[in-house]
Amino acid sequence: MATMRLGTHHAILVALLLVASGCKQPHQGWEPPLEETSTRFLQGQVEEALQLVRASRAVVRNNPEQAEQKLDGSVRALERMSRYYLPLLEARERAYDAHRFLYYGELHRASAEIEAVEKILDNVAKEGGPALQPAMQEPLDLVSEAKGAVLASSKDAPDRIKTLAIKLNLMALKGGLELPDDWPPPE
């Protein structure tokens, strides 16, 4: 009986090791569209918002109008993060996922991710108003090309998705250059 338990334990251990090693396999062979990504720009936006809040606290008693301006700047920095940077990061992540799913032959999942990217970018363009709509046109065109390539099971679909992912990454990294200084407008 003890020998049987020991054998069972060994079998379970071997099975767990095989499962664990098998879990790593789906990522072998696939290379992400872009190895170097960064979220430093988010830290800059957070630091700017915090700095403005601290500055407004320092002047709130002596100069309420100046404090109000600093708070407005802080709100603007946070809105830029929530309405531009974070959606672009999600779109970039989903484009990477689409690229990976396509690599592993999961066309339905790749297509769903591309659809999600399109909805995110449409929303950014809509919420961004006229100031952001021109900047969003190129990535939306890239989404259409990627979507068509995936639906047609085209051999250039991975390259189309890769181009989209790289564009989204660059838009996030260069957000300060892409976004007008007065965006979003104060409400």
Residue 178 pLDDT: 78
Residue 2 lies in a domain: no
Instruction: Tell me which residue of 158, 151, 149, 83 sits closest to 121, measured CA to CA.
Output: 83
In a domain, 20, yes or no: no
Place of tokens 């032959």: 105
Residue 165 token pair = 């992912």
How far apart (Å, rounded) are the C-alpha atoms in residues 121 and 87? Answer: 8
User: What's the Cα-to-Cα distance from 132 to each of 51, 62, 84, 171, rounded to whole Å?
Assistant: 26, 37, 9, 12
Look at residue 81 in the predicted model and tell me its pLDDT.
Answer: 86
Task: Give the count of domains, the chain.
Answer: 1
- What is the enclosing helix (H) or strand (E) of 74? helix 64-80
| Residue 187 within any structural domain of the chain | no
- Classify residue 163: in a domain, yes or no: yes
Provide the pLDDT for residue 53: 78
107 within domain boundaries:
yes
d(CA 152, CA 78): 40
Q: Is 84 exposed, middle or buried (0-12, 13-18, 19+ CB in 10 A)?
A: buried
185 within some domain: no
Q: How far apart are CA 92 and CA 138, in angstroms?
A: 14
Which residue range forms the structural domain that includes residue 119?
38-177
Residue 141 lies in a domain: yes
Q: Tokens at residue 34, please?
A: 């872009």
Q: What is the pLDDT of residue 112?
A: 97
- DSSP-derived letter for residue 186 is P
Distance separating alpha carbons of residues 99 and 93, to the nearest angstrom? 10
Q: What is the pTM of this model?
A: 0.72
Is 62 within the bounds of a domain?
Answer: yes
Tens of each residue's pLDDT in the chain, 187 residues: 444 444 444 444 344 333 444 443 444 566 767 656 666 667 777 788 778 777 777 777 788 888 788 788 888 888 888 889 889 999 999 999 999 999 999 999 999 999 999 999 999 999 888 988 898 999 999 999 999 999 999 999 999 999 999 999 999 888 877 788 888 876 6
pLDDT of residue 35: 57
